[in-house]
Homo-oligomer: A and B are copies of this chain.
Amino acid sequence: MANTFGHLFRITTWGESHGGGVGVVLDGCPPRLELSEADIQPDLDRRRPGQSKIVTPRKESDTVQILSGVFEGKTLGTPISMWVKNEDMRPEAYSEMATKFRPSHADYTYAAKYGFRNWQGGGRTSARETIGRVAAGAVAKKMLRERFGVEVFAYVKQVKNISAEVDFNSVKLSQIESNIVRCPDAAAAAKMIRLIEKMRKAGDSVGGIVEGVARGVPVGWGEPVFDRLEADLAKAMLSLPASKGFDIGSGFDGINLTGREHNDPFRMKGGKVRTTSNRSGGIQGGISNGENIYFRVAFKPVATVMHEQDTVDAQYKNTTLKGRGRHDPCVLPRAVPMVEAMTALVLADHALRHRAQCE
């Protein structure tokens, strides 16, 4: 069950970075949604290595193919199987990985858990696994937009200590896509790009924060207790490679306020119940309240660096390892479509769950 996410709008991803390919089966998509590869490819291109000078140079076209679930341009209500072939396999570039555990990667834990691992390019732990999520997320985004009027965005909010000013209530996709770091604050973006370039040259890496936003979510999605909307978002985000933290609305900063300061007062506005502030982040008691949902995800700096580091080999002897070949100085620009995809998958699932029980 580890490779399945969602209950009613449910995906199962498969594939290693080396092998036949990577893919996803999406089960539960409603019928009669117009869908073709053209709806999915743009997000895969945003996720793709080699898209700009500040991300890993791995070159693969990552061309998606829909194998089932679509007929005459519309979804059938049956499973949608999508896959991307693996192309850029250079096992020789990774050969040292066969015998040494990369620090702060999952090589050691996989080997210990399964007694066996595909060391090529990280195998299943490769960021390549997220191709299936992004592909299914594109379908979820389309369904949310067309059937429910919901929009999902993400953007880079912070790289190391460079923080951007962005209004999540009004930010547009065109602003996010206006630069290669996917930060809608142009001035901050320029600084971020310079820093990442510097890191690339130094063979080092940086992390930061991606902010996710959902606008137009109606009141009532989400469930009390365990499947709270924010709990499912937290799980979704912490399931992304390299993520280390999640907070929603006022989040960790909300601690600085007292209850009196923190509460969001209700007021009627345009015939609707609205809150005059939004420290709740659009969710109260696990259920959307009609305000914009916004949250942050912390990503650590990429573990592969072009420097000698202490480690242990597969014979459990001390040794050192220096990253070679391709180098990703910052995962954030490519994490943006991943955060959007996981957000959309959570919301699509809850949209259907709400319909099942409460309509």
Contacts and interface: CB of A to CB of B under 8 A. Distances in A.
A298 B250 CA distance: 10
A258 interface: yes
Contacts of A352: 356-357
A180 to B, nearest CB: 20
B259 A246 contact: no
A85 to B, nearest CB: 9
Given A67-B15, A114-B31, A254-B244, A264 B224 contact: no
B244 A117 contact: no
B16 A259 contact: no
A314 to B, nearest CB: 10
A83 B67 contact: yes
A20 B301 CA distance: 39
Given A239-B225, A266-B103, A79 B110 contact: no
Contacts of A251: 244-245, 298
Contacts of A305: 258-260, 263
A219 to B, nearest CB: 4
A124 B78 contact: yes
Contact of A228 (B10, B71, B108, B239): B239
B273 A108 contact: yes
Nearest to A113: B220
A280 B104 CA distance: 7
B357 A77 contact: yes
Given A114-B358, A161-B256, 5 more contacts: A12-B79, A20-B67, A110-B287, A113-B220, A260-B305
A259 B77 contact: no
B244 A238 contact: no
A12 to B, nearest CB: 5
Contact of A79 (B13, B115, B230, B303): B13
A19 B68 contact: yes
A317 interface: yes
Contacts of A23: 67, 81
A273 to B, nearest CB: 5
24 contacts: A3-B27, A4-B12, A4-B226, A8-B356, A14-B68, A16-B68, A31-B115, A31-B116, A71-B117, A76-B116, A103-B275, A109-B286, A112-B287, A230-B238, A230-B244, A235-B238, A238-B248, A245-B246, A259-B300, A265-B311, A267-B312, A268-B318, A352-B357, A355-B355
